[in-house]
């Protein structure tokens, strides 16, 4: 190394002269050595398809955009307008997602009772995003009735009760098909165990109703059991869905990773999100072999009501944390850490919280607070 | 008469007929006339807790004569299950019954006991009132709701088949007739018990035709009861709101699968199945109250079981029979005993035995 660069290097590696840190985290961040070693060229900006969506969607995706800009994150967004009442997702949007491989989206509201099929579900099926993941955990500083919640719900995303195969047999009698296949059950089980293995999780619980739906959920359980044998280090157990919901409200600490078919996954994810602080703060996403869509964790079809949109009081935390997951997925872990730390600090402080967390702030105030706390 | 009492209102913990009365039934309450009711003590802890109920009823002076029936040891070919034809005839005749926990025998060649009861008696609605017990602290204090679940069709029709190897189909069936029936009962219940709001829980944004039909039927019935508020809630929001703010719900009416999950979720909110009463309504005004917990074979015969669920279910049965004052007295006695905290069974964190708890309830009457 040339002699002149040594003092330069010394200055770079010396702790920055920031004001005395108020929390231990601040000090650690400035003192941390470089732990993520990228390949040359990894810093090139990545394209991400952005779908603002309906209702509170534009508000919260706007918040994410602002924070990404403030961080100078190496992502650029290709925005597309999609609304829940369109008949199908426009081809250009699918094209863009296939190209970028990653998408961030606000919710798409599905009109109830007829006409259009859910675009959320359509996107998932079209891109074969077979795993939906919701991470429900207690945020420090946010009081809830349950502590010790740290649950990841992994839900099969393409078949089950959401196959959309319904017909009227005779007037007044309607049938809906629930389809379970070995192929889909196996791959979701494999994903769940792989997730547990890669993230140092100790237990995987399969949620089912096989005492009543013996063939369908029985097939699901069989697939889970087979995959469980390949991961002897991870505990595996099974629980019936109604008992599961009861246990979630009584003793949520017994659950770690949960793998479920489509419908039960929806319910369990919403219950888990509710006990940990609400769907406004839980991150999640949908992932498949080739693509990933990140969105608010549970209840993606819930886009809030007009009042929230009008007063701009939507909670951006869920989408911010999901975008942090997205940054990790894109292999920018350092940016992800910064974002998550900032969000957690804002929540822990408690000054800027939206209505669903018991505060009175607007989306913009929370966003500004997060930007201010970015290290 | 029951309605006038409801409107008089009263202060907690004295409970009025509001909380538990299932339906207005054509029973006379003239003194001196005993009502015959079928009793299925069940297995495991069943006989002990049934004994508790009988004791409490004796002390309260309820004019009920019990016809006890037990699950047989052989399959009765007329019913294809271990329940005999005579047992079922007894319930059909008496129109009212109380059932303890029954263990499901394993094996083939017979229908499950619950399925038999349901099909033979046409039990179409399962009513579970969930109220926070004063004095027994759970994480939720303000639960005061009733779940009414359609019990005959939906996802539990049992119609499954393997299409090809590795692909299974299961049918979910929703009919206009069954949906109308349960919606009618829900609104009728709400009106008879002074409830203000009925919420239909659904997932019609995804399952448009099936849950859409259910909603249509609920709407039709709602129009006939303009004094009762009606709303529709998607099940995602319902689940989340239940765990965050259960006080927002009043009466919930749901198809079979959601009902199963939500009613157990609500039972979890108030403290578990050991404290939750339940009642099944059948065609022709049949009311079969039951305890929904298991038969707990590990504590059977040891005088440790908690009879609260069966007692509260029996109270529901009494309200169905319009013995409202007796029902109130017994209900208040149970609540007081639990609230005082001196005699609580082990599952509630206390050390009392079944008989001690029962005696305490009798003393409070």
Residue B16 domain-assigned? no
- Taking one residue from A and the other from B, the number of pairs with CB-CB distance under 8 angstroms is 183
Assess whether B233 and B247 both reside in one domain.
yes
Q: What is the pLDDT of residue B155?
A: 79
pLDDT computed for residue A115 by the predictor: 55
Where is the domain boundary, B234, B254, B270?
Answer: B270
Instruction: Give the CATH number for residue B144.
Output: 3.40.718.10
pLDDT at B9: 42
Same domain, B163 and B226: yes
The pLDDT score that the predictor gives to residue B222 is: 95
**Domain-embedded: residue B118:** yes
Q: What residue has token string 């140092």?
A: A200
| Interchain CB contact of B205 with A (< 8 Å) | yes
Q: What is the pLDDT of residues B32-79, one digit of tens each?
A: 578 899 999 888 888 989 999 999 999 988 888 998 888 877 777 777
Domain stop point among B270, B294, B322: B270
A interface mutation test: which of B147, B151, B160, B247 has the most A CBs within 10 A? B160
The whole-number pLDDT of residue A330 equals: 93
**Contact residues, chain A, for B156 at CB < 8 Å:** 212-213
Residue B1 lies in a domain: no
> Does residue B231 sit in helix, strand or coil?
strand
Give Cα A140 to chain centroid, integer Å: 18
**φ, ψ at A238 (rounded to 5°):** -125, 145
Evaluate whether residue B348 is within a structural domain.
Answer: yes
pLDDT at A161 over 90: no
Q: Positive or negative, the Cα torsion across A132, B261, A107, A375?
A: negative
| Residue B97 · residue B38 · CB < 8 Å | yes
In a shared domain, residues B232 and B286: no
Domain with B163, as residue range(s), is 139-270
Residue range A258-278: mean pLDDT, rounded:
91
Question: Which has more pLDDT, A319 or A313?
Answer: A319
Most confident segment among A184-188, A294-298, B47-51: A184-188
Task: ipTM value, please give it.
Answer: 0.83
Q: Please report whether residue B8 resides in a domain.
A: no
Question: Is the domain of B143 the same as that of B263?
Answer: yes
Tens digit of each residue's pLDDT (9 = 90 or more) over B120-141: 888 999 999 999 988 888 889 8
Q: What is the pLDDT of residues A336-346, one digit of tens each?
A: 999 999 999 99
B29 assigned to some structural domain:
no
3-state secondary structure of B175: strand
User: Quick one: B235 and B295 in the same domain?
Assistant: no
Residue A339 CB partners (closer than 8 Å, separation 6+): A67, A71, A320, A321, A323, A324, A327, A370, A374
Among B270, B285, B318, the domain-final residue is B270
Closest C-alpha among A12, A57, A39 to residue A331? A39
Determine the 3-state secondary structure of A267 from DSSP: helix
Q: Does B266 score more than 80 pLDDT?
A: yes
Whether residue B232 sits in one domain with residue B296: no
Structural domains in chain A, sorted by start: 44-132+281-374 (3.40.718.10), 145-276 (3.40.718.10)
Question: Is B92 within a domain?
Answer: yes
Q: Are residues B85 and B117 in the same domain?
A: yes
Residues in A touching B173 (Cβ below 8 Å): 173-176
Task: Report how far Cα B11 is from the mean position of its chain's Cα atoms.
Answer: 25
Does one domain contain both B143 and B237?
yes
pLDDT digits (tens, 9 = 90+) for A113-124: 555 667 888 888
- State residue B293's pLDDT score: 86
Total count of domains within chain B: 2
Residue B220 and residue B313: Cα distance in Å, rounded? 31
How confident is residue A32, by pLDDT bands cut at 50, 70 and 90?
low
What's the pLDDT score for residue B344? 82
User: B287: part of which helix (H) or strand (E)?
Assistant: strand B286-291
Residue B295 lies in a domain: yes
pLDDT higher than threshold 70 for residue B151:
yes
Per-residue pLDDT band for B12 (boundaries 50, 70, 90) equals very low
The pLDDT of A242-251, averaged and rounded, is: 92
* Same-domain check for residues B315 and B231: no
Question: Nearest C-alpha of chain B: how many angstroms from A165?
Answer: 9
Dihedral (CA of B180, B181, B183, B188) sign: positive
The answer to whether residue A190 scores a pLDDT higher than 80 is yes
Helix axes B308-320, B46-60, angle to 10 degrees: 50
Tokens of B47: 């006989």
- Shared domain for B277 and B249, answered yes or no, is no
The pTM assigned to this predicted structure is: 0.85
Minimum Cα–Cα distance from B259: chain A residue: A242
- Which pLDDT score, from 0 to 100, does residue A318 have? 92
| Contact across the interface for A249 and B169, Cβ inside 8 Å | no
Q: What does the pLDDT read at residue B115?
A: 78
Does residue B191 sit in the same domain as residue B302?
A: no
Q: Which residues of B269-285 are buried (b: 16+ CB within 10 A; e: fewer)?
A: bbbbbbbbbbbbbbeee
> For the segment B87-105, what is each residue's pLDDT rounded down to a tens digit?
888 888 989 999 998 877 6
Mean pLDDT of chain A: 86
Average pLDDT over residues A191-218: 93
The sheet with strand A292-296 has its strands ordered as: A75-79, A46-51, A102-105, A292-296, A283-287, A131-137, A150-156, A257-260, A203-208, A235-240
Whether the pLDDT of residue A227 is over 60: the answer is: yes
* Chain B hits for A209, Cβ within 8 Å: 257, 260
A166 touches B: beta carbon within 8 Å: yes
Q: Are residues B307 and B264 in the same domain?
A: no
For A364-368, what is the mean pLDDT? Answer: 93
Q: Which of residues 117-136 of A touch B (CB under 8 A)?
A: 117-118, 121
């Amino acid at each position: 190394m040339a002699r002149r660069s040594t003092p330069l290097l010394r200055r770079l590696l010396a702790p920055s002269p920031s004001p005395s840190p108020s929390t231990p985290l601040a000090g650690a961040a400035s003192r941390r050595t470089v732990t993520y070693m990228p390949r040359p060229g990894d810093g090139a900006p990545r394209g991400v398809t952005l779908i603002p969506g309906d209702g509170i969607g534009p508000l919260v995706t706007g918040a994410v955009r602002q924070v990404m800009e403030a961080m100078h994150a190496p992502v650029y967004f290709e925005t597309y307008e999609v609304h829940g009442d369109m008949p199908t997702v426009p081809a250009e949007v699918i094209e863009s997602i296939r190209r970028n491989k990653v998408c961030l989206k606000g919710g798409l509201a599905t009109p109830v009772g007829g006409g259009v099929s859910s675009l959320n579900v359509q996107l998932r099926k079209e891109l074969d995003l077979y795993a939906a993941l919701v991470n429900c955990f207690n945020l420090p500083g946010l009081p809830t009735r349950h502590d010790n919640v740290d649950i990841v719900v992994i839900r099969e995303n393409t078949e089950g009760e959401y196959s959309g195969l319904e017909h009227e047999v005779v007037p007044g009698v309607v049938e809906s098909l629930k389809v379970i296949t070995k192929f889909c059950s196996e791959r979701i089980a494999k994903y769940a165990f792989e997730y547990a293995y890669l993230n140092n999780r100790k237990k995987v619980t399969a949620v089912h109703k096989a005492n009543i739906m013996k063939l369908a959920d029985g097939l699901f359980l069989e697939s889970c059991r087979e995959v469980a044998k390949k991961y002897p280090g991870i505990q595996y157990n099974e629980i019936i869905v109604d008992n599961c919901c009861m246990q979630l409200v009584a003793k949520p600490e017994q659950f770690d990773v949960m793998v479920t078919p489509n419908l039960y996954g929806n319910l369990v994810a919403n219950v888990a999100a509710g006990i940990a602080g609400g769907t406004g703060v839980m991150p999640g996403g949908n992932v498949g072999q080739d693509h990933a869509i990140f969105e608010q964790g549970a209840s993606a079809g819930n886009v809030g009501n007009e009042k929230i949109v009008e007063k701009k009081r939507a909670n951006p935390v869920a989408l911010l944390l999901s975008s942090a997951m997205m940054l990790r997925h894109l292999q920018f872990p350092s940016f992800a850490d910064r974002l998550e730390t900032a969000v957690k600090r804002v929540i822990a402080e408690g000054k800027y919280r939206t209505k669903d967390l018991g505060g009175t702030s607007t989306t913009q105030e929370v966003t500004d607070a997060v930007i201010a706390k970015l290290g | 008469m029951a309605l006038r009492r409801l409107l008089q209102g009263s202060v907690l913990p004295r409970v009025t007929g509001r909380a538990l009365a299932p339906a207005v039934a054509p029973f006379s309450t003239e003194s001196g006339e005993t009502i015959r009711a079928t009793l299925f003590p069940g297995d495991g802890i069943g006989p002990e807790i049934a004994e508790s109920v009988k004791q409490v009823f004796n002390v309260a002076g309820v004019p009920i004569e019990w016809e006890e029936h037990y699950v047989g040891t052989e399959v009765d070919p007329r019913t294809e299950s271990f329940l005999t034809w005579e047992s079922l005839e007894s319930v059909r005749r008496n129109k009212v019954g109380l059932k303890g926990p029954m263990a499901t025998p394993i094996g083939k060649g017979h229908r499950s006991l619950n399925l038999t009861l349901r099909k033979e008696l046409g039990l179409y609605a399962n009513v579970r009132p969930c109220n926070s017990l004063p004095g027994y602290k759970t994480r939720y204090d303000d639960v005061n709701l009733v779940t009414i679940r359609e019990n005959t069709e939906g996802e539990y029709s049992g119609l499954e088949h393997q299409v090809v190897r590795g692909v299974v189909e299961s049918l979910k069936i929703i009919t206009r007739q069954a949906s109308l029936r349960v919606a009618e009962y829900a609104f009728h219940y709400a009106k008879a018990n002074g409830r203000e709001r009925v919420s239909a829980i659904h997932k019609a944004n995804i399952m448009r035709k099936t849950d859409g039909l259910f909603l249509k039927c609920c709407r039709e019935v709602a129009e006939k009861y303009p004094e009762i508020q009606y709303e529709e809630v998607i099940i995602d929001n319902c689940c989340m709101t239940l765990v965050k703010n259960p006080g927002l719900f009043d009466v919930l009416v749901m198809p079979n699968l959601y009902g199963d999950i939500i009613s157990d979720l609500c039972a979890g909110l108030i403290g578990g199945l050991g404290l939750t009463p339940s009642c099944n309504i059948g065609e022709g005004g049949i009311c079969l109250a039951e305890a929904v917990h298991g038969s707990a074979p590990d504590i059977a015969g040891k005088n440790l079981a908690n009879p609260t669920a069966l007692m509260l279910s029996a109270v529901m049965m009494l309200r169905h029979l319009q013995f409202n004052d007796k029902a109130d007295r017994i209900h208040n006695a149970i609540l007081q005993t639990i609230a005082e905290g001196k005699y609580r069974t082990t599952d509630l964190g206390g050390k009392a035995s079944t008989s001690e708890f029962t005696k305490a309830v009798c003393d409070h009457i």
